[in-house]
Structure 1
Amino acid sequence: MRSRRERHPTAARVLSLTVTVLAAVLVLAALVLPNTVAGLGPAKFVRLPGEAVIGAAVLLALPRRPRVVLAAVSGVVLGAMTVLNLLDMGFNQYLGRSFNVILDWELFGDARSYLEDSLGRGATLAAVAGVITLVLLLLVLPALSMVRLAELLARHPATATRGTLIAGVVWITCSSLGLQPAGVPIASARTAEALKIQARRVSSTLKDEAEFRKVARVDAFGNTPGSQLVPDLRGKDVVFTFIESYGRSAIEDPLMAPGVDRTLAARTRALDKAGFHARSGWLTSATYGGSSWLGHSTTMSGLWISNQQRYRTVMASDHLSLTEAFKKTGAFDTVGVMPGVQKGWPEQKWYGLDKVYNAFQLGYRGPKFSWSTMPDQYALQQYQERVHSKPPTAGRSRMSLLILTSSHQPWAPIPKAVGWDQLGDGSVFKDIQAAGAKPADVIADTTRSRQEYGKSIQYSVTALTEWLERYGSKDTVLVFLGDHQPNARVSGNHASRDVPVSIVAKDPRMLDKVAGWGWTDGLRPAHDAPVWKMSAFRDRFLTAFGSTPHPRKG
């Protein structure tokens, strides 16, 4: 290397200068990097980070060995903060919240499974390898850059000291005066603030765990005897259904709403003609973009289950779920149809389900539709054949919980409806799946993702309401709702967390029970229809249908 530098001194100087500049750019960019996609912009990267000024002053004061060690450690920490900022970007974009370093590691397994189902094993392995490589580079390169810059400061102490003093004065002046050209402060302390936020997040997470355990032990209906739960639904065929990612955006976004609204209007008319009537409102989901189980458990528990820690706490508790309330009466058989469940599901006990049909127990022999194991229409027909058409245990009614998955991202390919008597074992969907859009094409195109999302909601709502029109009876009471909004690429960076919820029945007395809720007639809730937190639904539903509170206070 020395001989090369001697033979090509100009090229060596240019290369050295280039590497130094790149090191400085990398460090400065990492120090001011925002943690949201919406926050990215050129103005965010021309700020003066206070951490750089303080770091330079400290490094100048240290002898060589401590200086190198501190620079390397600081670089690794800066790289780790960069990784956390990028994770925040991804989580904010897809789940509407920041990454939690205590709770969210286990979600990477779900993310890998989702990618494998959507893009295939080869693409997933490549993506995982790319992410691992990126993380290693983000940890190593800032460390090397910091060491190089520290050595540069040490070689030119006088110039470095003057520059550090000038930068410090500029930072203090800009901070004191609050100078913000283009609305972005010149003086930045982004990394220091991010460290404080992460520390507070860890502290609040640990504190929340203890507090939520106390909250979960309190239950307005925890001591209610079975004889006093849902007496007004005895003899009814009650069906609770979640439609994946069915959010307010599907009904009100200018691009997606026209098609979805036409479907809701058409299906309302068809149900009216069949003797069914509906009322609809809004619930604010505890989750956004994904983690559907948080929405399901929030609705059924009456508790705000907004993270995995709370979910585990509730699943291990005896807090009464809405579905368990039906089992507790002794007057209902309880069954679940879960085409998205592909492994053991211990939550069955907490939900109070006598029997659960998972993805492998519905006889499907057709192709997967990306993440979705089978089309909703097929899952509903199997529910009809295996459960709904069979009489419940003598003297009992039935309560069912269905989770429909065809509207799960990436919304490609989307199933198409076939004749109900043509479904068979699902092989009929092979050509439909093969002719559908490719997940990679839709994921890469925001406009197309939004369009396909709207179509998937139309498909799911149509399949469910056609099933009701075809197989429902005078005793059927259908409650269906979304579990969360679609991710920010579809719903936008400032979308609400609201989802539609509808109750449909032939028996007018059933809708009379909820007349005081102020919900909109039909399947489409009005823009100004009441909005409740999703956690309010359990108690309101139990109360509306005659349940008597007997609180358990923990």
Structure 2
Amino acid sequence: MPSFHQPSSRNPNLAQTFAALALLWIALLLPNRASEINAANFACLPLEALLLASLLQLPDIWGWLVRLAAAGILGLGIIFKLVDLGIDQAFGRPFNPVLDSRFPADGMQWLTGSLGTPGAWLAVALIASLLIWLILLVGIALGQLQAILSSPRIPAKQALTAMFLFWLGLQLSGNPIAGTPFIDWAAAHWHSARDSFADLEGFQRSVEHDPYAQTPDQALLSKLRGKDVLLVFVESYGRTVFDKPDYAAHILPLLKKSGAELQDSGIGVRSAFLTSPTYGGISWLAHGTLLSGLWIDSQSRYDRLVMSQRPTLNRLFQRAGWRTIAVQPAHTLPWPQGQYFGYDKIYAAQDLAYRGNAFNWITMPDQYTLSAIQRLERPAGPRPPVMAEIALISSHAPWTPLPRWVDWQQVGDGSIFSQARDGDAPAAVWQSTERIRQQYRKSIAYVLQTLVSYAKTYGDDKLVILVLGDHQPASFVTDNSASHDVPVHLIARDPEVIRAIDSWHWTPGLIPSAQAPVWGMDVLRGKWVETFSGEPGR
């Protein structure tokens, strides 16, 4: 058995040496954003490597303890960087241990739902084994490095001294090759976690104050009295369809033509952009932001919001005499947070009585969702006005197969949508980024066509529709766009509704101009209440 002062191997071969150094180089230099994985970011002289090499030369147990600690730190570093990469690809940001503390529990719930309880625990055990194996592998690589440094044929101390001086010279001259990438990455996460704790304390104070809580019910939203208001979130409808030429070439002509059709039908339209608090997913953060008037950009903020007494936009409509409903065709499980928002009725997937086939993850096409709500909540005859928050999901991944529009009179119970058997399976589409983007673009076109057709068919003087995206699609669809903006459209036949927002300076039609305002999604609640109420909130 080797003693502590002995390295794991006195004579590592060339392949072992190369593999060990490559793994350690990756551990120190691997970026945590996919867009930054390039040769330039690996062409770096990290100070951490020089410090580690120096400490590994400590004698006896001290060198062994350094190796043990470094194996744990670098191994966990690789793991968390891989987590960062996954979170960044999905949501456009790195992992935050404070704000994303629920991800493990949510992941376990997903595994249990997909694999069953035994399968979920087996998957957890497998993942844990892989993580332990990775840390052990880093430890072996460090042992190889110790063997190199302890070789009498290599003047390690002199070489390291020269490298330190070289690094210092580069650093003083401002050369970016000399850096501290691992330390910078760890420090950024530490500061992010620390700032998140402070942010949540400030957020709690904001939750407890709402300027419209005391607005008289008779004045609240009085300029919309008697109208049905549909707040429609379109899944993954992001600004990228305007900014990315491959999408814009198809979507802009469609929007121009659809805007003209609405105008010819006597329906007014205004458009702008909102900045979403989320990117690529976690749609409920966008819903919470718009409805509460607070910036809900993390699960921690969302959890604090739904445990508060702050009145949502739904509750304000409810106070003013509207029947408030939520239409959530993606929900197949109980939704306890729904009690906070203030709905008289929640329509989950099973409540919409869809009898057609599911489109993979998509439980039903958007045209059926709109048709069902028209039938269930907007029948002819006396009734209270409806304020409906509707989530349209046909533009959610995997974007195959896609539904086709049918005549509204033929929608019925949805059994006509046998199209769910058509088209390529996700496994075929997702082999190509180009195919994924093509299918995404087609899904957005389908949703827009469906909404415009609904407005033309059912848009009487009592209907007001606010359409907006919940967030940008995933970064591999946006081509790593940094923008969190989403389009927003106000559609109404009553010209008084359109004139009421003249001061917003939104663009006529469905295509926001380059000068159109870009508000945070949290701003719209206040603008809406102030504009359509009889007197400003106090």
Aligned residue number for residue 345 of structure 2: 355
Q: Are 1:28 and 1:49, in contact at CA under 8 Å, matched by a contact in 2?
A: no
Aligned residue number for residue 371 of structure 2: 381
Correspondent of 1:50 among 47, 56, 62: 47
2:407 paired with 1:410:
no
- CA shift digits 1:98-135 (9 cap, x unpaired): 1112232433666788899999x9x9999989866654
Aligned residue number for residue 188 of structure 1: 179
2:221 paired with 1:233:
no
Report the more deviating stretch, 130-139 or 532-541. 130-139
Report the more deviating stretch, 189-198 or 256-265. 256-265
Q: 1:456 to 1:109 in 2, by over 3 A?
A: farther
Aligned residue number for residue 504 of structure 1: 491
- CA shift digits 1:319-374 (9 cap, x unpaired): 12111110112x11111111012222123222211000001211123332233211
Hey, what's the Cα distance between the residues in 2 that align with 1:375 and 1:127?
A: 33
Report the more deviating stretch, 39-48 or 306-315. 39-48
Aligned residue number for residue 318 of structure 1: 309
Correspondent of 1:533 among 495, 520, 533: 520
Q: Are 1:333 and 1:392, in contact at CA under 8 Å, matched by a contact in 2?
A: no
2:387 paired with 1:399:
yes
Q: By how many angstroms is 1:223 displaced? A: 2.0
Consecutive unaligned residues of structure 2, counting only runs of 5 or more, are 1-8
Hey, what's the Cα distance between the residues in 2 that align with 1:511 and 1:262?
A: 23
Q: 1:473 to 1:334 in 2, by over 3 A?
A: same
Q: By how many angstroms is 1:312 displaced? A: 1.0
Q: Are 1:376 and 1:405, in contact at CA under 8 Å, matched by a contact in 2?
A: yes
Aligned residue number for residue 425 of structure 1: 413
Q: By how many angstroms is 1:65 displaced? A: 2.4
Q: Are 1:118 and 1:371, in contact at CA under 8 Å, matched by a contact in 2?
A: no
Hey, what's the Cα distance between the residues in 1 that align with 2:122 and 2:454?
A: 41
2:506 paired with 1:519:
yes
Report the more deviating stretch, 146-155 or 168-177. 146-155
Q: By how many angstroms is 1:418 displaced? A: 2.1
Q: Find the residue that maps to 1:255 and give its secondary structure.
A: helix
Aligned residue number for residue 7 of structure 1: none
Hey, what's the Cα distance between the residues in 1 that align with 2:426 and 2:334?
A: 27
Percent of residue pairs identical: 35
Taking structure 2 as the reference length, the TM-score comes to: 0.91
Hey, what's the Cα distance between the residues in 1 that align with 2:142 and 2:265?
A: 72
Q: 1:200 to 1:500 in 2, by over 3 A?
A: same
Aligned residue number for residue 34 of structure 1: 31
Correspondent of 1:177 among 161, 173, 179: 173
Hey, what's the Cα distance between the residues in 1 that align with 2:339 and 2:380?
A: 23
Q: By how many angstroms is 1:284 displaced? A: 1.1
Q: By how many angstroms is 1:37 displaced? A: 1.3
Q: Find the residue that maps to 1:384 and give its secondary structure.
A: helix
Correspondent of 1:103 among 71, 95, 99: 99
Q: 1:15 to 1:159 in 2, by over 3 A?
A: closer
Q: Are 2:274 and 2:486, in contact at CA under 8 Å, matched by a contact in 1?
A: yes
User: Residue type matched to 1:333 in 2?
Assistant: R
Q: 1:112 to 1:276 in 2, by over 3 A?
A: farther
Q: Are 2:11 and 2:147, in contact at CA under 8 Å, matched by a contact in 1?
A: no
- CA shift digits 1:377-432 (9 cap, x unpaired): 11111112222226565xx32211111001112222221112323333333323x2
Aligned residue number for residue 139 of structure 1: 135
Hey, what's the Cα distance between the residues in 2 that align with 1:109 and 1:525?
A: 40
- CA shift digits 1:26-47 (9 cap, x unpaired): 1122111111112111232232
Q: By how many angstroms is 1:151 displaced? A: 4.5
Hey, what's the Cα distance between the residues in 2 that align with 1:118 and 1:382?
A: 29
2:211 paired with 1:223:
no
Q: 1:274 to 1:499 in 2, by over 3 A?
A: same
Q: By how many angstroms is 1:75 displaced? A: 1.2
Q: Are 2:292 and 2:310, in contact at CA under 8 Å, matched by a contact in 1?
A: yes
RMSD: 2.9
User: Residue type matched to 2:33 in 1?
Assistant: T
Hey, what's the Cα distance between the residues in 2 that align with 1:98 and 1:545?
A: 39
Aligned residue number for residue 3 of structure 1: none
1:244-283 correspondence to structure 2 within 5 Å: 244-283=235-274
User: Residue type matched to 1:340 in 2?
Assistant: A
Hey, what's the Cα distance between the residues in 2 that align with 1:443 and 1:125?
A: 28
Hey, what's the Cα distance between the residues in 1 that align with 2:26 and 2:338?
A: 48
Q: By how many angstroms is 1:163 displaced? A: 2.3
1:111-190 correspondence to structure 2 within 5 Å: 134-154=130-150, 156=152, 159-179=155-175, 185-190=176-181
Hey, what's the Cα distance between the residues in 2 that align with 1:460 and 1:207?
A: 40
User: Residue type matched to 1:372 in 2?
Assistant: I
Aligned residue number for residue 23 of structure 1: 20
- CA shift digits 1:424-447 (9 cap, x unpaired): 3333323x2222232233333222
Report the more deviating stretch, 382-391 or 106-115. 106-115
Hey, what's the Cα distance between the residues in 2 that align with 1:503 and 1:70?
A: 62
Q: 1:376 to 1:136 in 2, by over 3 A?
A: farther
Aligned residue number for residue 472 of structure 2: 485
Q: 1:451 to 1:279 in 2, by over 3 A?
A: same
User: Residue type matched to 1:369 in 2?
Assistant: F
Hey, what's the Cα distance between the residues in 2 that align with 1:547 and 1:217?
A: 24
Q: Are 2:89 and 2:474, in contact at CA under 8 Å, matched by a contact in 1?
A: yes
2:88 paired with 1:92:
yes
Hey, what's the Cα distance between the residues in 2 that align with 1:217 and 1:467?
A: 39
1:302-341 correspondence to structure 2 within 5 Å: 302-329=293-320, 331-341=321-331
2:294 paired with 1:300:
no
Hey, what's the Cα distance between the residues in 2 that align with 1:548 and 1:314?
A: 27
Q: Are 1:324 and 1:350, in contact at CA under 8 Å, matched by a contact in 2?
A: no
Taking structure 1 as the reference length, the TM-score comes to: 0.89
Q: 1:259 to 1:531 in 2, by over 3 A?
A: same
Q: Are 1:298 and 1:535, in contact at CA under 8 Å, matched by a contact in 2?
A: yes
